[in-house]
Structure 1
Amino acid sequence: IVGIDRGLRFLAACYDEQGQTLLCSGQKVLRTRRKYKKLRAQLQAKGTKSAKRRLKKIGQRENRFISDVNHRLTKTLVNHYGPNTIFALEDLTNVRFATEKAAKKRRYEMVSWTFYQFEQFLAYKANLNSSTVVKVSPRFTSQRCPKCGRIRKENRNHELHLYICDKCGYKSNDDRLAAMNIQFLGDQYHKGVKLPKFTKLRSAE
């Protein structure tokens, strides 16, 4: 059972039931997409017919680039973990990313990366390899300590990408921590729990 946290810093942060972590960096992808964004802005400023034609071609080229990245990444994950694997993903249906809290230059990247396409590719390839994809609740997966179960938003430092539990002192990269919690929910699903999710108890504060 593998928990996968999707993002931009790491396109996929993975944690399996044996305690192994796999982080797939998204930095090269971000650099490439920023080049496309810069070129697009330059062409939009020109506003000529030839510039508009180039804009269309660039959009198509970027879409092919994104699809290729998702294709290669999902293929790598399915091959790496082998058959009979349960891949647990957060159910991002109706989840809105708080783009107003992101730096202005990163908002385009936040809303335009195709997490759904990644999910579709992974499900298709997993099925061909006798594996499956399940979706679990995203609530508190980045706020819960996987060691003691403490849920506290303030324990996560976004700038340092670090989670430090104020109760037991556990420390982890925040992307890895989310993958650990997603993996735990995937394990609950495998054990027969319907719609597994984390619940924050008021008495825990």
Structure 2
Amino acid sequence: MLLKPTTKQEEILLRTLVEHTACFNAVCAVGWQKRCKNGVTLHHETYRTLRVEHPDLPAQLLIAARVRATEAVKSALNRLKKGSKTSCPHGNLVPIRYDARTYTFHPNASVVSLSTVASRQSVEFARNPHADRLLAQATGFDSADLVYRKGRFWLHLVVTIPDASFSPTGNVVGVDMGLNHPAVTSTANFLGEKRWKEIDRRYFRLKRALQAKGTRSAKRHLRRLSGKVHRFRRDCDHVLSRRIVDSVEPGTVIVVENLNHIRTRVKQRGRESRRRLHSWTFAQLRSFLKYKAVEKGCVVVGIDPRHTSQMCSCCGYVHRSNRRTQSRFLCRNCGFELNADLNAARNIARKYLASSGMAATGGLLSASLSCQP
């Protein structure tokens, strides 16, 4: 949520971030120099010195800086151990992680109380309908990160929301996630926007032109473009996962493929196909789908993806040439013809049914797995 501090509070928050970052960098330097990633050891090595150097910074925020620095050093040392090129972690205005002892959230008053270098500060925050809906469901407030970005202060608040109870209704919906069609369900819902693919291509062409140019202004543009592309793909995954969840009823089992290591297992022909495969955010999409499904009272499960695109959803015959083109599936055994992605989605649902021993009867299940095109 967006904070709305006064001019004096902005100076105090900024000074708090600066001193917190100085402690973070100091702990990282000690940990990197001594190749130490143990939090207790780093605490004994740095705490007293940093308390003297930063007397205005609350002790709990200093400890929060040490904890974050320990995580950064541990990650860097692990990368170094694997042979990757890395250097000592160093941050600029590192976000502060507040806990129950260093901040108090007052949703009704639209105020949050934060520990700073100038004692506690009560800062107002802007409300929005989405946040209000989540705050109304929250049963507890956990940690919160104070972030300074583009001249604004943001508070990333972690709240505890009770899960909706899962009452299985027997409905099973398979979802085939792909590059051509972002998502196709076994109930014949083709989800996603065609324009997403062209927007992604446009960003890639712009990125390639800027990299070829190589000037300082081009590099600045590339940094801005990187964040823009990340936010675009994240928004697409949010929209897609929301549409998948909205297309099913509470109590439905949503079945997806386990696509782990797909970049090493699948060989794509053509430079553009390989680029799209390696930039595919399927893990992020699945994580978004999982928590949105839990909120609605559904559950997401994964199945083995082998042969889902080669098997006939009508007779079960498997052959590589059943899939004639990217979008056309024609069974060599029974002559059943269907969109290839829809056929794969039905096979995904069938695989889950076979593994769980469920019978394909009733409701969405029988409709989604019928042999009708």
Q: Could you tell me whether the CA contact under 8 Å between 2:310 and 2:322 is conserved in 1?
A: yes
Separation in 2, partners of 1:148, 1:99? 26
Match of 2:329 among 163, 168, 171: 163
Match of 1:176 among 342, 360, 364: 342
Aligned to 1:145, the other structure's residue is in SS state coil
Separation in 2, partners of 1:145, 1:99? 21
Aligned to 1:81, the other structure's residue is in SS state coil
What is the identity percentage for the equivalent residue pairs of Structure 1 and Structure 2? 34
Separation in 2, partners of 1:98, 1:134? 21
Match of 1:133 among 300, 306, 310: 300
1:123 partnered with 2:290: yes
Match of 1:106 among 273, 279, 282: 273
Aligned ranges for residues 37-48 of structure 1 at < 5 Å?
37-48=204-215
Aligned to 1:89, the other structure's residue is in SS state strand
Larger Rg: 2
For 1:175, the aligned partner's letter is: D
How far apart are 1:24 and its partner, in Å? 1.6
Separation in 1, partners of 2:329, 2:267? 23
How far apart are 1:166 and its partner, in Å? 1.1
Separation in 2, partners of 1:189, 1:79? 26
1:90 partnered with 2:257: yes
Match of 2:201 among 27, 34, 52: 34
Q: Could you tell me whether the CA contact under 8 Å between 1:8 and 1:26 is conserved in 2?
A: no
TM-score of the pair, normalised by structure 1: 0.85
Separation in 2, partners of 1:186, 1:30? 30
Count of residues in correspondence between the two structures: 187
Runs of 5+ in structure 2 lacking a partner?
A: 1-171, 359-373
Query: RMSD across aligned C-alpha pairs, in angstroms?
Result: 1.7
| Aligned equivalent of 1:196 | none
Match of 1:12 among 183, 208, 211: 183
For 2:273, the aligned partner's letter is: R
1:58 partnered with 2:229: no
Q: Could you tell me whether the CA contact under 8 Å between 2:191 and 2:243 is conserved in 1?
A: no
TM-score of the pair, normalised by structure 2: 0.48
For 1:167, the aligned partner's letter is: N
Separation in 2, partners of 1:163, 1:100? 20
Deviations 1:149-204 (A, max 9, x none): 11000111135x21111111111111111001001122234437xxxxxxxxxxxx
Separation in 1, partners of 2:270, 2:340? 19
For 2:181, the aligned partner's letter is: F
1:144 partnered with 2:311: yes
Of 122-131 and 95-104, deviating more is 95-104
Evaluate the alpha carbon distance shift between residue 100 and residue 126 of structure 1 in structure 2; reply closer, same or farther with a 3 A threshold. closer
Runs of 5+ in structure 1 lacking a partner?
A: 193-205
Q: Could you tell me whether the CA contact under 8 Å between 1:147 and 1:170 is conserved in 2?
A: yes
